[in-house]
């Protein structure tokens, strides 16, 4: 049976690898590239760990009010933002390692690929970098609250973007490597580090493309206003969600390979596998669908 999410689509139809439902809604979603693990947080306090075939491997039910997740690519450790100020760190079995509360509302969170560090931003506006054992190693003051964070793998550095006006790169000591003003409103950020590309979903300005030194290289344009973007580790595939509730699957050459209208069940979260053969969709109804092109 064809998933409801794929009933109105054009292009190279994907294989439906699995479809699952979380009736309480999917509050946050994370994908561990290296371990091929999917992490879901629901509206009723559940954390659920799945493999790429949809098998539920672990579930816990006491992590409430989660609205952001960070997950190491190895799936060794993760961090959930609970409410405005709470942090909940957990291991590969979703067992609690530590919890804490911070000053200010948490606006973004990220995990280093191998789980050595976390970063979280607050509306103070500051970025805090801590080890997975909770030791703080740097505090960075920013001009505006940061809404998007991404740890680099090769250089152990951090990319940060504010919703409007800030786009920066830092080392783990908090030193600024570069900081560039942005005139575009930023809805989402994705980084393809081996491809040396940073993608910003910039609404009316399309998906802006930068290299790792913040030099603009062009843009991807789709039919609509991009608000979410996800990409592969390599220069292969990217997915774009628009304000009009459409999703586009593109090559890095800008060709639209597949598209779907999801206005009947708008997407809340997306993720793309490291190799670009799978696209994970999480909708407002609580549907989780993993699509594949093989």
Q: Which residues pair with 16 in a beta bridge?
A: 291
* Cβ-count burial 130-149 (b if 16+ within 10 Å, e if not): bebeeeeebebebeebbbbb
Instruction: Tell me which of 251 and 194 has the higher pLDDT.
Output: 251
Token pair belonging to 229 = 């973007």
Say if residue 285's pLDDT is above 80.
Answer: yes
Say if residue 128's pLDDT is above 80.
Answer: yes
The candidate with the shortest Cα–Cα distance to 76, out of 37, 48, 130, 109, is: 37
pLDDT of residue 136: 97
Say if residue 154's pLDDT is above 90.
Answer: no
> Mean pLDDT for the chain?
96
pLDDT of residue 14: 96
Say if residue 119's pLDDT is above 90.
Answer: yes
pLDDT of residue 135: 97
**Integer angstrom CA distances of residue 42 from 49, 73, 91, 141, 282:** 12, 21, 18, 32, 11
> Average pLDDT of 160-187?
90
pLDDT digits (tens, 9 = 90+) for 217-230: 999 999 999 999 99
Say if residue 2's pLDDT is above 90.
Answer: no
Reported as a pLDDT band with limits 50, 70 and 90, residue 109 is: very high
Say if residue 256's pLDDT is above 70.
Answer: yes
Instruction: Tell me which of 111 and 155 has the higher pLDDT.
Output: 111
Backbone angles phi, psi at 156, to 5 degrees: 50, 55
pLDDT of residue 264: 96
Q: Which CATH number fits domain 4-292: 3.40.1410.10, 3.40.50.720, 3.40.50.300, 2.130.10.10?
A: 2.130.10.10
> Average pLDDT of 245-252?
98
pLDDT of residue 163: 84
Range from 5-9, 37-41, 71-75 carrying the lowest mean pLDDT: 5-9
Instruction: Tell me which of 42 and 184 has the higher pLDDT.
Output: 42
> Average pLDDT of 72-88?
98
Instruction: Look up residue 205 and give its DSSP letter.
Output: G
Say if residue 183's pLDDT is above 80.
Answer: no
pLDDT of residue 181: 87
Token pair belonging to 288 = 């989780």
pTM of the model: 0.96
Say if residue 1's pLDDT is above 70.
Answer: no
Say if residue 13's pLDDT is above 70.
Answer: yes
CA distance 291 to 271: 11
Say if residue 178's pLDDT is above 70.
Answer: yes
């Amino acid at each position: 049976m064809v998933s409801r999410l794929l009933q109105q689509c054009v292009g190279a139809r994907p294989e439906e690898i699995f479809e699952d439902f979380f009736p309480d809604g999917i509050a946050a979603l994370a994908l561990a590239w290296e371990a091929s693990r999917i992490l879901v947080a629901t509206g009723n306090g559940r954390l659920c760990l799945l493999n790429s075939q949809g098998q539920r491997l672990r579930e816990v039910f006491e992590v409430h009010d989660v609205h952001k997740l960070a997950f190491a690519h190895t799936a060794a450790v993760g961090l959930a933002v609970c409410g405005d100020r709470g942090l909940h760190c957990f291991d590969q079995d979703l067992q609690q390692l530590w919890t804490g509360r911070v000053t200010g509302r948490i606006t973004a969170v990220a995990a280093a690929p191998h789980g050595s560090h976390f970063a979280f931003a607050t509306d103070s506006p500051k970025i805090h970098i801590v080890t997975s054992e909770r030791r703080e190693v740097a505090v960075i003051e920013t001009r505006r609250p940061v809404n998007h964070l991404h740890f680099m793998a090769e250089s152990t550095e951090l990319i940060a973007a504010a919703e409007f006006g800030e786009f920066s790169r830092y080392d783990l000591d908090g030193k600024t490597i570069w900081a560039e003003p942005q005139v575009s409103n930023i809805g989402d950020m994705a980084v393809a580090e081996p491809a040396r590309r940073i993608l910003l979903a910039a609404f009316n300005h399309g998906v802006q493309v930068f290299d790792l030194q913040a030099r603009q290289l062009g843009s991807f344009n789709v039919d609509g206003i991009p608000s979410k973007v996800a990409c592969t580790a390599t220069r292969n595939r990217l997915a774009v969600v628009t304000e009009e509730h459409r999703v586009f699957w593109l090559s890095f050459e800008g060709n639209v390979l597949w598209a779907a209208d999801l206005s009947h069940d708008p997407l809340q979260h997306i993720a793309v596998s490291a190799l670009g053969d799978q696209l994970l969709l999480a909708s407002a109804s609580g549907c989780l669908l993993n699509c594949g092109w093989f």
